[in-house]
Amino acid sequence: MSLQQIDAKMLAKMFLAGAKNLENKKEWINELNVFPVPDGDTGTNMTMTIMSAAREVSALGEDPSMEAICKAISSGSLRGARGNSGVILSQLFRGFTKRIKEEESLTVAILAGSFEKAVETAYKAVMKPKEGTILTVARGAAEKALELAEAGEEDMEKFLSAVIAEAELVLSRTPELLPVLKQAGVVDSGGQGLVEVLHGAFDAYLGKELDLNFTAPAVNVSAGTAGGTVEEAEIKFGYCTEFIIMLNKTFTTKMEMDFKAFLESIGDSIVCVADDDVVKVHVHTNDPGLAIQRALKYGPLSNMKIDNMRLEHQEKLFKEANKADISRTASVEPPKDFGFIAVSVGDGINEIFKSLGVDYIIEGGQTMNPSTADILDAVAKVNAKTVFVLPNNKNIILAANQAAELTTEKDLLVIPTKTIPQGITAVINFVPDLSADENEENMLREIGNVKTGQVTYAVRDTVIDDREIRKGDFMGIGDKGMLAVGASMEDVARETVANMVDEDSELISIYYGSDVSEEDAEHFRGLVEEQFPSCDVELQFGGQPIYYYVMSIE
């Protein structure tokens, strides 16, 4: 007979099983992406998001409290959130845990309320919610849950089974809500990921034998720990740092999440436990001074201990860390007014951003969306009062906005650039003498004048925008859809440009990727100049993977 209530221990098991099932289906979910480009997208982003939380849940031990599980799920998924799908998933978890964290066990009625809260929280996090996505699937499941609870259903197994069946039904209808899904012959990949989480959780509830082992962080042993030594090659962060903060102010949930996110950005093996007027902190890091300086914001420190875990090369490591700490502590250089962070990929494009004055480059983009924690880490490293963030990819904008909400020491302004050319245009139009608000307004206006096209290849057969695409075809993808398809990369690239140029176009910028030779790129520029003599044509090495050409029209 199945349990009619879910306690904390069962909830932890169900969450871990849901995470594991999503991880197992990751590549399949990636293949559901509407655009059949050769990158890891939805499945990868959702998996990295939930695995961040799963590691924290796993570290709680065998008998965790409901509140501890909820905190691990909420904060873990928030810090690890990647891409739109990952951020939305983290918000679903945040709303779900907010409703149940003070419960001893979960009934059908409580679960129905928590599903409703999850959907409410996720919809609020998205500026323009689109139906036919993971949001639609989540809402359908929540509405079914509420319907069952109001009808008096108390059998947990029947309840969960019916909710998952409804989620699958809504998922099957997503192509009717988004024509682009119907043309591609797929359901929404984010919705499918959510369904896989629910399936895994239900399997755990039913008592199925599951492998719930998760890979621990790279370093989990400090110097002096019994049971052997740690090889130097395994140690990513060299200093085991411990202290207690004697709080001189209320340590709010926001402060705790912000502090944990900062610790995550500078190290691993993190323990941060708040208990009344003290906070116990443990972190492995290469910069103990950074952890100490941030902790001093909340109160004086006691019981401080720093151990060097790299027994070899001790003197060299000590001198380097000590030098870094002294320079940071001295703070001889005051912060400048403005700084820039750009998400970029490709040696050439990275150099372009640096030459334009961007302070910090986050490696990533379509193939690897940086997380909220990655962006927070970058913000901490830019010595400026106001920091502009250029996501340069639509899947990174939500994570950047989430980082802005968590940043308290600096003004963080996200310019919602969706492509590399938009990001370059934004930086070019920055004027140091203007205020942050004036610069933001200028950059937003100018990026709206940039058209972007990208040439890549298809990894499967599909239909998009009424165009039949075969595996191996070259595709020209524009801001709003498919611009060209064909067997010749050069022809597709030319057609892509032709479909973007109009009578107002003045400048064509071409960035060639790592798989295009300089000779071929120069030849292509010549063809474009010949075809559009009234436009200036610029060619630059981008070095980006996957996309042979990235082109912009202004």
Q: List C-alpha distances in Å: 66 to 198, 202, 206, 532.
A: 19, 18, 20, 65
The answer for residues whose C-beta is within 8 angstroms of residue 446's C-beta and 6 or more apart is 425, 426, 428, 429
Separation between Cα atoms, residue 187 and residue 170, nearest integer Å: 10
**How many whole angstroms separate alpha carbon 52 and alpha carbon 268?**
12
Cα(first)–Cα(last) distance of the chain, in Å? 66
Residue 204 to residue 54: CA distance in whole angstroms: 15
CA pair distance 410, 386, nearest whole angstrom:
6
Pairing of strands 267-275, 105-106: unpaired
Rounded to the nearest 10°, the torsion over CA 42, 43, 48, 50 is 100
At the top level of CATH, the class of 232-330 is alpha beta
Say if CB 524 and CB 549 are below 8 A apart: yes
How deeply is 173 buried, as exposed, middle or buried, from its count of CB atoms within 10 A (0-12, 13-18, 19+)? middle
Main-chain dihedrals φ then ψ at residue 13, nearest 5 degrees: -65, -40
Predicted confidence at residue 280, as pLDDT, reads 64
Alpha carbon distance 348, 368 (integer Å): 18
Instruction: Yes or no: say if 549 and 511 are a contact pair by the CB < 8 Å rule.
Output: yes
Rounded to whole angstroms, what are the CA distances from 129 to 74, 84, 113? 21, 11, 21
Count of residues in the chain: 554
Predicted confidence at residue 309, as pLDDT, reads 61
Residue 305 β-bridge partners: 242
Return the pLDDT at 157.
Answer: 94
Tens-level pLDDT at each residue, the chain (554 residues): 357 899 999 999 999 999 999 998 888 888 877 666 555 478 888 998 899 899 999 988 888 899 999 999 988 887 777 767 887 898 899 899 999 999 999 999 999 999 999 999 888 877 567 888 899 999 999 999 999 999 999 999 999 999 999 999 999 999 898 887 887 788 889 999 999 999 999 999 998 877 766 543 333 322 222 223 333 334 577 777 877 788 887 888 788 888 888 888 888 766 565 655 767 676 778 888 888 888 888 888 876 767 666 543 344 333 444 444 444 444 457 889 999 999 998 889 999 999 899 999 998 766 577 888 889 888 989 999 999 999 999 889 988 998 888 887 889 999 999 999 999 999 999 999 999 999 999 999 999 999 999 999 988 888 887 888 998 999 999 998 899 999 999 999 999 999 999 999 999 999 999 999 999 999 999 999 999 999 999 999 999 888 999 999 99
Which pTM was predicted? Answer: 0.64
CA 284 – CA 91 distance, rounded (Å):
28
CATH 1.25.40.340 is the classification of domain 6-205: yes
Helix (H, G, I), strand (E, B) or coil at 187: coil
Longest dimension (CA), the chain: 77
**What's the pLDDT score for residue 329?**
43
Q: Quickly list H helices, 299-433.
A: 314-330, 347-355, 372-381, 397-406, 420-428
Question: What SS3 state is found at 281?
Answer: strand
Q: Is 51 helix (H, G, I), strand (E, B) or coil?
A: helix
Distance, CA of 169 to CA of 137 (rounded, Å):
9
Domains 232-330 and 336-447 share a fold: no
Q: What does the alpha-carbon distance between residue 514 and residue 327 come to, in Å, rounded to a whole number? A: 38
Contacts of 525 (CB under 8 A, 6+ apart): 510, 537, 539
Parallel, antiparallel, or unpaired: how do β-strands 6-7 and 105-106 relate? Answer: antiparallel
CATH class, domain 336-447, is alpha beta
Report the phi/psi class of residue 275: left, alpha or beta, with left for phi > 0 and alpha for psi in -120 to 50.
beta
Task: Please state the φ and ψ torsions of residue 208, each to the nearest 5 degrees.
Answer: -70, 145
CA 188 to mean position of chain CA atoms: 19
**What are the b/e assignments for 115-133, b being 16+ CB within 10 Å?**
bbbbbbbbbebbeeeeebb
The CATH number given to 451-553 is 3.30.1180.10
Helices (H), 126-219: 134-150, 156-177, 179-184, 189-205
At 301, the amino acid letter reads L
In 3D, which of 93, 90, 59 has the Cα closest to residue 214? 59
Rounded Cα distance, 423 and 443, in Å: 9
C-alpha–C-alpha distance, residues 402 and 125, integer Å: 9
The Cα 498–Cα 551 span in angstroms is 11
* Domain positions in the chain: 6-205, 232-330, 336-447, 451-553
Q: Looking at residue 319, what is its pLDDT?
A: 44
Q: What beta strand segments (E) does 199-265 contain?
A: 239-246
